[in-house]
Structure 1
Amino acid sequence: MQERDTDLLVVGSGIAGCAAALAGARAGADVTLATKASQPEDSTSYWAQGGVAVSRGDPEAFKQDIIAASDGLADPEAVDVLVSEADEAVRDVFVDTLDVDFDENGEAPDYGREAAHSEARILHVDASTGKHVLAPFLNHLQDHDRVEVLEDTAALDLVTHEGRVHGAMLERDGELVPCYAGATVLATGGIGACYQRSTNPPTSTGDGIAMAALAGADVEDMEYVQFHPTAFAGEDAADQGTFLLSEAVRGEGALLRNGEGERFMPDYHADAELAPRDVVARAVKDERERTGEVTLDVSPLDFAGEFPDLQAECENRGVDPANGIPVAPAEHFLCGGIDVDTEGRASLDRLFAVGECARTGVHGANRLASTSLLEGLVFGLRAGEAAAGFEAERVEAPELLDSDPDLPESFAAEKFVRLRRVMDEFAGIERTPEDLTRAAGVLRRLKGEIDAYTRTRTSRSLYELRGACVSALLVTRAAAENEQSRGCHHIADEEGAAVDAD
């Protein structure tokens, strides 16, 4: 790679990054889209199952559902933007530009319903919506005259000078070069790599959040880490990884049963299986601990016919859905992140953030189902347009050492095991002040060990580890400072058991 100048640098190729790149190009900017991904499957957006929620002409009802699911902590102004622009953004990009064929019921859209939605308003393609919108989006940008896509390219640090962001240091195949940009949009996704069980791909290492925080940008609501209640928990999940059983399955009538065969959700919430995610996740955790397992009973619906991809995935794992699908909570989505306004502007000049790495305020303490693709699309379009029009200025770039061949390959892997054990034990679905104090102490020591390496050498795996560790520290610190149990941040009534996380 060579040093480059660009009007707009977008880091990340999920829906949010693609939307920002498209809007920037439409506004006349020359756009560089840098992504760690080498294929669409490396992005969290690809794995979004349920679909994309729209207002169906009733933005007020949609707004009230979002605020209710957020435990009352969503920012009303940000929610107004989301619900008022939802229908037009989906029609403009997904339908008119990308020609996505959403499922239909006859000649009308087949709107789905998921947990905490008061009505059916979710456009979908089977239960694999993400891949059906992301793949054509990436193809569209690859062919765009104003967009250059750099695959398998990681951003390691921001280039800053006197409070302004001037681009980022990019790495590919061990080469490190600065990319100077008029404006920079971070769309790097979430922090799934901080936890052992996550629905995110391995690339979700918190890079953008860490880079922004280390550069001095404001970060908010990091304590609100959402766990999805129904991730596959079969015998091979530990080796082959988990996969998501979409809330759309429960929306179509699937039931949760404990190890004694009892349906338990009516005892936890009036909306039973369609209660907000944080409620269902804690209930599933409790019932697994009490009775040994929880299964998703799909017998009330035509599972194979309505969810063929999930049926195939179960069969590949040797599970017959007719006998119930074993499930357990898994880390799913970060509701907080880099604090931004309604156009994606962060607190540092010419830095923008969109998607899961951004804290737009629409999710509050808990995200409503099928709003992640929508948030990325709406605010990605807004940020891309707002970030266009700046010219790149060259300043002194950070001195990052060339990749060190002597860095042990096992170093990052071993440290990740330690980090995940800490987060699973001390900063998971339920927390206590004592556990969070333990976690922060271990993570501070871990970050010190990582920093000792980054002062003498550079590698992508090392910087991904740094990103995950910084993000984990931000989660534990925010959780420790927030004494109010709300939504995804649930403070247990009793002190958790002490575990030697070192």
Structure 2
Amino acid sequence: MNQRTTDVLIVGSGIAGCAAALAAARDGVEVTLATKATEPEDASSWWAQGGIAVTREDADAFREDIMAASDGEADPEAVDTLVGNAAHAVEDVLLGTLDIDFDTAEEGADTDGFAYAREAAHSESRILHVNASTGRHILPPMLEHLQGLDAVTIEEDTAALELVTHEGLVHGAILERDGEFAPCFAGATVLATGGIGALYPRTTNPDGATGDGIAMAALAGADVADMEYVQFHPTAYAGADSEDTFLLSEAVRGEGGLLRNAEGERFMPDYHEDAELAPRDVVARAVRTEIDATGGVTLDVSPLDFASEFPDLVHKCEENGVDWTEGIPIAPAEHFLCGGVAVDDRGRASLDGLFAVGECSRTGVHGANRLASTSLLEGLVWGLRAGETAADAGEPAVVEAPDLLNRDPALPGNFARDKFVRLRRVMGEYVGLSRNGEDLSRAQGVLRRLKGEVDAYVRTRTARGLYELRSATIVALLVTRAASENPESKGCHYLEPSAVAPEAEADGD
């Protein structure tokens, strides 16, 4: 791989990275989009099921729903940015440019023609969707559109290993493909690397969600925030093998699906007045409580016409040998990181020349818990704004790049895999749905030792798997430290009652 330059370097090919590339290309600058993905399904956006929330005539209600779901922790200005730009972004890109064939309402329905869905913690029906597989209907057309633009070069199967910095300014990144690596210098660098699902035993994310962008930014000195807020989706298929995990869209409960414990009892009304449509963190903890108490939880889809409304999910059930007519076994699984690289309303990070968009960023929209179907929207809105701003960053400068060494023999093929097993076990056991100080302290000790081992190998070896493991250990430590430093139980950072600081308990009395 040879050294190169580009006006804007984008790392990641989900909806946020693609939106940034589109916006920058519209301004006429040269764009390089580097992605580990070799297929659209390697990006988290492809796996998005429910849809994309939009602002209709309910802007105030939309804002209130986001704030309520966030447990009051969302940044009001960021929420205003999302809600205020939602309709234009969707109309411009998804409808106008890509002509996405969203599901339509029955003739005569009182809508603008679309079949808007309602999901948990939404007070209105405002979610555009395509069946229960919206992401896979949006991402391929976006990539195809970008491939047709002369200004955009897409580098597939290409990983970013480390940012190139000089005197507090980011000048690009070291890229790797097929074992070869070299710097790509850029006027602006946009991280759009997705989430951290690979850090947990069960996740709805693709395997490549190792937190690369967050780790690279943190190592370079960029600010990160809200890392303790890791959201677990309450309804993922509870197969015997974690690799069989798949998401059962919140839209199923929006259409009338019910949660029942192993004794056949519907339990959510006992936990929240909105029952199955309570915020995700509430439902996820309730599901885990009922699994522990009764032995299991199923999603009862008998109240709706599941086969006709969710054919893609029927197919997933059939692939896994699940008789959905008897109820679908479910359990919480890691789903989304609400924190990440701290950015402003244009996606700018604290380091000049660096932007972050999508799940690897912390815009402030989600606070302590994300409202359903706002992730695609956030990626689209911030991707467009970041790409537009990045296009004005100026020409790339060639500076001294990090000297990555690869002088020692390659490690055994199972080295990274075995370390990941250890990391996932620690995160699943100690930094999951509920936390306490003792577990978090234990996790930090194990993770620090693991990071020390990995750092020692990285000093003399440069391989994608090893750098992914380094990213995962760095991000795992960031999550665990943030959780241990936050004494307030909020949203998806849930502290077991005995772990809540005395003053916090007193405040709640």
Regarding TM over 0.5, the answer is yes
Per the alignment, residue 189 of structure 1 pairs with 194
Deviation per residue, 1:266-298 (Å, 9 max, x gap): 000000000000000000000000000000000
Per the alignment, residue 126 of structure 1 pairs with 131
The answer as to whether partners of 1:404 and 1:459 remain within 8 angstroms in 2 is no
**Pairing 1:179–2:179 present:** no
Per the alignment, residue 503 of structure 2 pairs with none
Per the alignment, residue 416 of structure 1 pairs with 420
**Pairing 1:269–2:267 present:** no
- Report the Cα distance in structure 2 between the residues aligned to 1:403 and 1:476, rounded to whole angstroms: 33
- Report the Cα distance in structure 1 between the residues aligned to 2:60 and 2:119, rounded to whole angstroms: 18
**Pairing 1:395–2:405 present:** no
**Pairing 1:42–2:42 present:** yes
Deviation per residue, 1:25-64 (Å, 9 max, x gap): 1112110000000000000000000000001132111010
The answer as to whether partners of 2:410 and 2:461 remain within 8 angstroms in 1 is no
- Report the Cα distance in structure 2 between the residues aligned to 1:495 and 1:257, rounded to whole angstroms: 29
- Report the Cα distance in structure 2 between the residues aligned to 1:72 and 1:493, rounded to whole angstroms: 20
Q: Cα RMSD (Å) of the superposition?
A: 1.1
Q: By how many angstroms is 1:405 displaced?
A: 5.2
Q: By how many angstroms is 1:117 displaced?
A: 0.1
What is the DSSP-based 3-state SS (H/G/I as helix, E as strand, rest coil) of the residue aligned with 2:6?
strand
Per the alignment, residue 321 of structure 1 pairs with 324
Instruction: Tell me which of 285, 293, 296 is aligned to 2:296.
Output: 293
Letter in 1 for 2:226: D
Where in structure 2 are the equivalents of 1:67-146 lying within 5 Å? 67-106=67-106, 108-146=113-151
- Report the Cα distance in structure 1 between the residues aligned to 2:478 and 2:319, rounded to whole angstroms: 38
Instruction: Tell me which of 432, 443, 451 is aligned to 2:455.
Output: 451
What is the DSSP-based 3-state SS (H/G/I as helix, E as strand, rest coil) of the residue aligned with 1:109?
coil
Letter in 1 for 2:389: A
Q: By how many angstroms is 1:459 displaced?
A: 0.5
The answer as to whether partners of 2:116 and 2:129 remain within 8 angstroms in 1 is yes
Deviation per residue, 1:222-271 (Å, 9 max, x gap): 00000000000033x33x42000000000000000001000000000000
Letter in 2 for 1:170: L
Per the alignment, residue 56 of structure 2 pairs with 56
Deviation per residue, 1:81-123 (Å, 9 max, x gap): 1001101100100011011010001351000000000010000
The answer as to whether partners of 1:209 and 1:338 remain within 8 angstroms in 2 is yes
Task: Give the paired residue count.
Answer: 494
What is the DSSP-based 3-state SS (H/G/I as helix, E as strand, rest coil) of the residue aligned with 1:104?
coil
**Pairing 1:348–2:351 present:** yes
> Which has the larger displacement, 58-67 or 177-186?
58-67
- Report the Cα distance in structure 1 between the residues aligned to 2:304 and 2:486, rounded to whole angstroms: 41
Where in structure 2 are the equivalents of 1:455-474 lying within 5 Å? 455-474=459-478
Letter in 1 for 2:284: A
Instruction: Tell me which of 221, 226, 238 is aligned to 1:216.
Output: 221
Deviation per residue, 1:457-478 (Å, 9 max, x gap): 1100000000110000000000
The answer as to whether partners of 1:175 and 1:402 remain within 8 angstroms in 2 is no
Deviation per residue, 1:174-221 (Å, 9 max, x gap): 000100000000000010011000000001000000000000000000
Letter in 1 for 2:289: D
- Report the Cα distance in structure 1 between the residues aligned to 2:11 and 2:73, rounded to whole angstroms: 29
- Report the Cα distance in structure 2 between the residues aligned to 1:189 and 1:408, rounded to whole angstroms: 28
- Report the Cα distance in structure 2 between the residues aligned to 1:3 and 1:304, rounded to whole angstroms: 52
Q: 1:421 to 1:458 in 2, by over 3 A?
A: same
Instruction: Tell me which of 304, 309, 327 is aligned to 2:307.
Output: 304
Q: By how many angstroms is 1:403 displaced?
A: 7.8
> Which has the larger displacement, 215-224 or 433-442?
433-442
- Report the Cα distance in structure 2 between the residues aligned to 1:23 and 1:280, rounded to whole angstroms: 37
- Report the Cα distance in structure 2 between the residues aligned to 1:149 and 1:404, rounded to whole angstroms: 31
Letter in 1 for 2:468: E
Instruction: Tell me which of 159, 166, 169 is aligned to 2:171.
Output: 166
**Pairing 1:22–2:22 present:** yes
Instruction: Tell me which of 364, 369, 373 is aligned to 1:366.
Output: 369
Deviation per residue, 1:442-461 (Å, 9 max, x gap): 10000000000001111000
Per the alignment, residue 203 of structure 1 pairs with 208
Deviation per residue, 1:329-364 (Å, 9 max, x gap): 000000000000000000000100000000000000
Which runs of 5 or more residues in structure 2 are unaligned?
108-112, 501-509
Aligned residues with identical type, % of pairs: 72
Letter in 2 for 1:481: E
Where in structure 2 are the equivalents of 1:321-340 lying within 5 Å? 321-340=324-343
The answer as to whether partners of 1:222 and 1:475 remain within 8 angstroms in 2 is yes
Q: By how many angstroms is 1:495 displaced?
A: 6.4
| TM-score relative to the length of structure 2 | 0.96
- Report the Cα distance in structure 2 between the residues aligned to 1:163 and 1:221, rounded to whole angstroms: 23
Q: 1:98 to 1:404 in 2, by over 3 A?
A: farther
Which runs of 5 or more residues in structure 1 are unaligned?
497-502
Per the alignment, residue 507 of structure 2 pairs with none
- Report the Cα distance in structure 1 between the residues aligned to 2:24 and 2:499, rounded to whole angstroms: 50
What is the DSSP-based 3-state SS (H/G/I as helix, E as strand, rest coil) of the residue aligned with 1:6?
strand
The answer as to whether partners of 1:23 and 1:382 remain within 8 angstroms in 2 is yes
- Report the Cα distance in structure 1 between the residues aligned to 2:179 and 2:164, rounded to whole angstroms: 18
- Report the Cα distance in structure 2 between the residues aligned to 1:304 and 1:144, rounded to whole angstroms: 39
What is the DSSP-based 3-state SS (H/G/I as helix, E as strand, rest coil) of the residue aligned with 2:46?
helix
- Report the Cα distance in structure 2 between the residues aligned to 1:179 and 1:406, rounded to whole angstroms: 25
- Report the Cα distance in structure 2 between the residues aligned to 1:139 and 1:234, rounded to whole angstroms: 34
Q: By how many angstroms is 1:147 displaced?
A: 0.3
| TM-score relative to the length of structure 1 | 0.97
Over 3 Å off, 4+ runs: 402-405
Instruction: Tell me which of 480, 483, 493 is aligned to 1:489.
Output: 493
The answer as to whether partners of 2:52 and 2:376 remain within 8 angstroms in 1 is yes
What is the DSSP-based 3-state SS (H/G/I as helix, E as strand, rest coil) of the residue aligned with 2:176?
strand
- Report the Cα distance in structure 1 between the residues aligned to 2:326 and 2:430, rounded to whole angstroms: 34
Per the alignment, residue 248 of structure 1 pairs with 251
- Report the Cα distance in structure 2 between the residues aligned to 1:465 and 1:234, rounded to whole angstroms: 26
Per the alignment, residue 500 of structure 1 pairs with none
Q: By how many angstroms is 1:366 displaced?
A: 0.1
Q: By how many angstroms is 1:406 displaced?
A: 2.3
- Report the Cα distance in structure 1 between the residues aligned to 2:476 and 2:407, rounded to whole angstroms: 25
- Report the Cα distance in structure 2 between the residues aligned to 1:405 and 1:142, rounded to whole angstroms: 38
The answer as to whether partners of 1:404 and 1:458 remain within 8 angstroms in 2 is no
Q: By how many angstroms is 1:402 displaced?
A: 3.5
Instruction: Tell me which of 232, 239, 242 is aligned to 1:234.
Output: 239
